């Protein structure tokens, strides 16, 4: 029996085929770069893209996905509500993990699950970003030193329109003076969600080993536990006899 963690990496895959300067950074697409990084950690990884039937996310694919990794940007609005609801159900009921990357903070799947817009301020420059670990004992930060430095990244700044995260793992500092909550954990239903900020399409961020490490840690953290006991809900009989009851 194959006990490997099953990860599906989803990408809208719109920038890379259309823009040569982005294809030069990610010749096989952002999804392939992320998938290759995760395969090095021994996960069973597949990819899916927007233009595939059902966006590559059939009931069968989702039923066989422990963690879904999501990158999207210009085509956030093109994702069908039916697939958004399917992903939401699989997270809330099935306990599938969801890793939301960079501009996917405004993806419908993320907005549906957190309940806010996910909007923030941004500046498309290529200056330094430092991701400071603010939860050093957390499994997502395992093996990461005090901070991760990215030489060239787009700036995202507060205020970030999210509910207060259940756990905050990284705060970014940007050379222009802004800060941002860059690594945020949310518990929703039976599922776990991690938002991770880096990964603008013009920079080779997903080839950086520390970033690949965080993504691998996040997949492991977000995966449903095989021993998880599903909570019982609804109308139930008392566990013990209640005095005076019939």
Q: Which stretch binds Zn ion (CB under 5 A): 62-70, 95-103, 125-133, 187-195?
A: 95-103
Helix and strand numbers (H, E) in the chain are 7, 9
Stretch that binds Zn ion, among 39-47, 57-65, 134-142, 196-204 (CB under 5 A): 196-204
- Based on CB atoms, which residue is closest to Zn ion, 43 or 160? 160
Q: Which of 16, 129, 153, 154 binds Zn ion (CB under 5 A)?
A: 154
Q: Which residues contact 13 (CB under 8 A, 6 or more apart)?
A: 29, 30, 31, 49, 50, 51
Q: Is 12 near Zn ion (CB under 5 A)? A: no
Q: Least distance in Å: CB of 116 to Zn ion?
A: 19
Q: How far is the CB of 30 from Zn ion (least distance, A)?
A: 11
Query: Within 10 A of 167 (CB to CB), how many other CB atoms are there?
Result: 16
Dist. CA 38–CA 20, nearest whole Å:
25
9 contacts 65 by C-beta, under 8 angstroms: no
Contacts of 169 (CB under 8 A, 6+ apart): 133, 134, 135, 138, 140, 141, 183, 184, 185, 194
Verify binding: residue 15, Zn ion, rule CB under 5 A: no
Work out how close the CB of 176 gets to Zn ion at its nearest, in angstroms, rounded to a whole number: 15
Does the protein bind Zn ion through residue 200 (CB under 5 A)? yes
Rule CB under 5 A: which residues touch Zn ion? 103, 154, 200
């Amino acid at each position: 029996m194959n006990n490997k963690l099953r990860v599906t990496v989803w990408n809208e895959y719109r920038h890379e085929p259309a823009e040569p300067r982005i294809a030069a950074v990610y010749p096989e697409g952002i999804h392939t770069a992320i998938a290759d990084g995760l395969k090095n950690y021994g996960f069973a990884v597949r990819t899916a893209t927007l233009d595939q039937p059902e966006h590559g996310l059939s009931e069968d694919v989702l039923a066989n996905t422990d963690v879904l990794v999501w990158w999207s940007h210009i085509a956030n609005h093109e994702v069908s509500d039916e697939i958004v609801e399917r992903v939401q159900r699989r997270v809330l009921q099935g306990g599938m993990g969801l890793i939301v990357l960079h501009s996917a903070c405004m993806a419908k799947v993320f907005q549906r699950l957190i309940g806010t817009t996910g909007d923030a301020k941004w500046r498309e420059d290529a200056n330094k970003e430092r991701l400071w670990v603010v939860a050093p004992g957390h499994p997502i930060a395992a093996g990461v030193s005090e901070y991760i430095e990215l030489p060239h990244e787009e700036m995202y700044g507060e205020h970030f329109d999210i509910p207060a995260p259940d756990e905050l793992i990284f705060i970014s500092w940007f050379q222009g003076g802004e800060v941002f909550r860059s690594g945020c954990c949310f518990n929703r239903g039976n599922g776990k969600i991690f938002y991770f900020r880096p990964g603008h399409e013009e920079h080779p961020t997903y080839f950086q080993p520390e970033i690949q490490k965080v993504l691998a840690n996040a997949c492991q953290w977000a995966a449903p536990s095989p021993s998880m006991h599903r909570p019982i809900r609804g109308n139930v009989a008392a566990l013990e006899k209640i005095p005076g009851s019939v």
